[in-house]
Structure 1
Amino acid sequence: MKEHGTLFIGGRWVAPRAERTIEVISPHTEQPIARVAAAGPPDVDDAVSAARHAFDEGPWPRLDPAERIEAVRRLADLYGTRRDELAELITDQLGAPISFARRAQVALPWSMMNALTDLARTYPWQENRPGVYGQDILLRKEPVGVVAAVIPWNMPQFLTVTKVVPALLAGCTVVLKPAPESPLDALFLAGLVEEAGLPPGVVNVIPADRDTSAHLVAHRGLDKVSFTGSTAAGRQVAGACAQNLTKVSLELGGKSAAIALDDADPSAVASAVRLSGLGMAGQICNALTRVVVPANRADDYAQALAATMSALNVGDPTDPATEMGPLVARRQQERVRHYIDTGVREGATLVTGGSDLPAGVERGWYVRPTVLGAVHPSMTVAREEIFGPVIVVIPYRDDEEAIRIANDSAYGLAGSVFTTDKARGLDVASKVRTGTFGINQGYSMDPAAPFGGVKASGYGRELGREGLEAYLDVKSISVGPI
């Protein structure tokens, strides 16, 4: 079992002020694999103080943007050489299949790092604008300050990179707080930050439990909080930030709909649904979990989804042939099983799957890939985020009803439409209220495109130019005659 007894604060590895630890449990074996130091409130204070000093007194925010870009590029180069090691850590702690971990949990963040540095190279850090009253206006883009980046467990490196890298490029300093389920990759990244030679205090890494997280997001020493997690937790974070007028970005839950128009292909829809989230056993916020289909072809879609889900290779996440591993924790397994049973009790048809363990699996927090058919939009499984490998099939009578069903949700993170008619697809996309959308695919996480939600899926954007600007303030300077 790995032992890691220190936190990364102010450019040094330091012991926590109190003897607090987090035990990391393998979702596959249900056995401990690591024990790491856990930050308490005094350690949070130290980390925020280190980040505050690095911002107020250190060189980082005062560097030319090109120098920060070069430093982040050094970090990306180091990251690239350690990809396999990092993927294995993520597989061990989360149960992500190793093939998915290499591709989506590590290679994708690495490509994002490089793409974001390219974006920063062309970003207009200063602009001139003619004033209405004849004077010149100078606009300077300046770093927002000290940022707390609070990361969930499901896609830890991807979400870390989409927060930390733009913040660093903007000139901010960061306190990174990973989830208790996934501290190992964050500590690994801290080692790369140290090796890359970033100034002390620019990045601080403090694994901690949820109570300590509450102390962090309410800290008066912060200028911004960037949070990804559940909608319920996001409401608490927003309330804590409001007390201090701390800026906050929230990327929260989802219940994304895939609308299949009457000219769509059931097998293509099923394939897109699989790719949108089942690599992490459905534990993806923008996964396509509601499949809205023509009523006269509902059985065709249910069977196509069932065939795709049943064919998934479920099992040992360290096996390269595995396509779906376990859920992250026993509580998550129990939650998903409860939703499956609730769906059947409320009248949904169990097309494939169920709440028992997959065939051949004797231990681990697994759930069978499940399709529920004949689902009414009012059912619990159609309204609440399950965060597991459960797909619901909802029939509709016409395009207008399909759009109403897609919009009849507290959430608005992502969605898709499937059709052979691009203009028709674009029309549907314009009418579904979400922050992101895909046509004939799940939403692609392109680094050039801003990502985020509306309604209970949060506010603020990550990635693209907008993701960089989330960590910048605009200062207007009016220049009179000299």
Structure 2
Amino acid sequence: MMNDIFKTISPIDGSVYTERSCADEKFVETALKNAVAAQQIWKGVSLKERKNLCTRAVEKFVAKKERIAEEICWQMGRPIRYAAGEVDGLQERALAMIDMADQGLAPIRLDKKPGFERWIQREPLGVVFVLAPWNYPYLTAINAIIPSLMAGNTVILKHSAQTPLCSERLHQAFAEGGLPESVFQYLHLTHGATERIIRDRRIDHVAFTGSVAGGRMVENTAAGRFIGTGLELGGKDPAYIREDAELSHAVETTMDGAFFNSGQSCCAIERVYVHESVYDDFLEQAVGWVKRLKLGRSDDPETTLGPMVRGSAADFVREQVCEAIGQGAVAHISADDFPADIPGSPYLAPQVLSGVDHTMRVMNQESFGPVIGIMKVGSDEEAIQLMNDSEFGLTAALFTTDIESGISLGQQIETGTFFINRCDYLDPQLAWTGIKNSGRGCSLSVMGYESLTRPKSFHIKTRL
């Protein structure tokens, strides 16, 4: 029996793209019970077999790339020309984490000690509850799903109500790949039911990607249960353009990092600091780059900037921009440049602002939309101080041809990932983590296995 029907409204045209019923208490209870029972068997399956099953699931998923891309386009508004890239990204991350499982789960063998054998091995936690967002619905989810399964945990996935088909497609792929029943499950849930599951004693870890407010909910709800919570939250990621930067590359890279996915990325570039000696040239080129974007329906192959996920999200960015202009910022994009912009709708023209400072919300509050503030600085020291002047710390980028100096500056920046001459990219071989209000915990890399397992020490006396 199911209840609480929700509808997914497509940002493309405001139509109901799909609707689903939320799981009721009986359905949730069955899922939890089955997850616990399945985990007792799954943890005994060899790592080699787990790798084979998950690899087959990835193959089944990729085989439906075109259909999945169309669904992404309609559910959350990413232009169809880019939507299939998320399938490719999932494949890259999933296979990388599968390949790293041997290393990430390998026992730690200690130096020989006469009369003793000693080692530390990694044990699965049990049942992992994954809460995935709508903006990169597959990439964010797979970061936790694959290492959880590789480690011998079972997984229950709850996706955003904006992208419910994503959890269903993942479940379908794992089922077709031969994963045993109930090792990977999904649930469509209300907020209340989600909180009840977090509090349930059968949940052993929560992996959440979303807003700071959502992260607080997870942390508060799990308080007192002594379980792990992986929290990938917001960002206000900065970039610094040094005077020796290769300017055309810096413009192309930072603007793509700011406006791809309509800026709806936790690691999007949201503020840029440019050395005064190259500031004017950078600003001119950046404005030219943005004006070449095409705002339109996501299902149009010519569109390079789709609608935001909903009108209220676009209005939030509009308010930030209007407020900044009222405080003295200069807007470089005219509404005439983007006739598809419709006030109150998800269709929002991109904006480049100069004359900004840190008293403005557009420079200190996460925008999560197609707007960038560009600020002039006089030195490396000033740039570093401004980059660190934030409640967030997910990624930061620096553009320079002096790599040695760039690395030295990177040591001073408060961030989870530091880039030189690139941005807005997750390398699955590297740890993905944030500091401050960008969250806690780590996914990807061999270190991503640590939070999804527990250490168990073996201390064996062999001589009596």
Could you tell me whether the CA contact under 8 Å between 1:145 and 1:223 is conserved in 2?
yes
- Between the aligned partners of 1:300 and 1:217, the Cα distance in structure 2 is 51
- Could you say if the C-alpha distance between residues 68 and 180 of structure 1 is closer, same or farther in structure 2, counting changes exceeding 3 Å? same
TM-score normalised by length of structure 2: 0.95
Matches within 5 A, 1:147-226: 147-226=128-207
CA contact (8 A) 1:87 1:106 kept: yes
Deviates more, 1:467-476 or 1:431-440: 467-476
Q: 2:219 aligns with which of 238, 248, 257?
A: 238
User: Per-residue displacement from partner, 1:121-146 (whole Å, max 9, x unpaired)?
Assistant: 44452232137796321211111111
8 Å CA contact 1:452, 1:461 repeated in 2: yes
Q: Give the superposition deviation at 1:303.
A: 2.1
Conserved in 1, the CA contact under 8 Å of 2:57 and 2:175?
no
- Measured in 2, the distance between the counterparts of 1:188 and 1:37 equals 17
Residues 1:27 and 2:7 are matched in the alignment: no
Name which of 429, 441, 450 aligns with 2:422. Answer: 441
How far did residue 212 of structure 1 move?
2.7
**Secondary structure of the equivalent of 2:428?**
coil
Gaps spanning 5+ residues in structure 2: where? none
One-letter code aligned to 1:27:
P
Residue 294 (structure 2) aligned to one of 302, 309, 313: 313
- Tell me the CA shift for residue 443 of structure 1: 4.3
Matching of residues 241-320 of structure 1 within 5 Å: 241-320=222-301
Q: CA deviation at 1:444?
A: 2.8
TM-fit CA distance, 1:362: 5.6
The correspondence for 1:82, drawn from 61, 64, 68, is 64
Match of residue 73, structure 2, among 63, 71, 91: 91
The counterpart of 1:409, out of the listed 375, 383, 390, is 390
Amino acid at match of 2:445: G
Task: Return closer, same or farther for 1:418/1:476 CA change in 2, 3 Å cut-off.
Answer: same
- Who is 2:433 aligned against? 452
Deviations 1:342-388 (CA, angstroms, capped at 9, x unpaired): 1112221112256x993145695111111111111222111000100
* Corresponding position of 1:472: 453
Shift of 1:93: 0.5
- SS of the residue corresponding to residue 189 of structure 2 reads coil
Q: 8 Å contact 2:103–2:446 — kept in the other structure?
A: no
Distance 1:425 1:388 in 2: 28
Alpha-carbon spacing, 1:192–1:353, altered in 2? closer, same or farther (3 Å): farther
- The 5 Å alignment of 1:33-112 reads 33-56=17-40, 59-103=41-85, 105-112=86-93
8 Å contact from structure 2 (residues 341, 348) kept in 1: no
Identity of aligned residues (%): 30
Instruction: Determine the C-alpha separation between the residues in 2 that align with 1:291 and 1:219.
Output: 44
In structure 2, the CA distance between the partners of 1:353 and 1:258, relative to structure 1 (3 Å rule), is farther
The count of aligned residue pairs is 462
SS in 2 for 1:243: coil
Aligned to 1:138: 119
Is the CA contact (8 Å cut-off) linking 1:26 and 1:92 kept in structure 2?
Answer: yes
Task: State how far apart, in whole Å, the 2-side matches of 1:366 and 1:420 are.
Answer: 38
CA RMSD of aligned residues (A): 1.9
1:359 to 313, 325, 339: 339
Matched, 1:429 2:410: yes
Per-residue Cα deviation, 1:112-163 (whole angstroms, up to 9, x for no partner): 1222211124445223213779632121111111100000110000011111
Tell me if the contact between 2:117 and 2:459 (Cα under 8 Å) persists in the aligned partners.
yes
Residue of structure 2 equivalent to 1:9: none
Aligned residue for 2:417, secondary structure, equals coil
Quick check: 1:30–1:365 contact (8 Å CA) kept in 2?
A: no
Change (3 A) 1:44 1:243: farther
User: What amino acid does structure 1 have at the position aligned with 2:451?
Assistant: A
Between the aligned partners of 2:231 and 2:29, the Cα distance in structure 1 is 23
Aligned with 1:352: secondary structure? coil
CA distance in 1, matches of 2:215, 2:390: 17
CA–CA separation in structure 2 for the residues paired with 1:440 and 1:434: 16
Q: Which shows bigger deviation, 420-429 or 443-452? A: 443-452
Larger CA deviation: 214-223 vs 40-49:
40-49
Contact 1:97 1:279 (8 Å CA) reproduced: no
Out of 134-143 and 218-227, give the one that drifted further.
134-143
What SS is found at the alignment partner of 1:437? strand
Q: Secondary structure at the match of 1:137?
A: strand
For residues 86-129 of structure 1, give each alpha carbon's deviation from its aligned partner in whole angstroms, at most 9, with x where no partner exists. 111111101101121111x2111112122221112444522321
CA contact (8 A) 2:104 2:447 kept: no
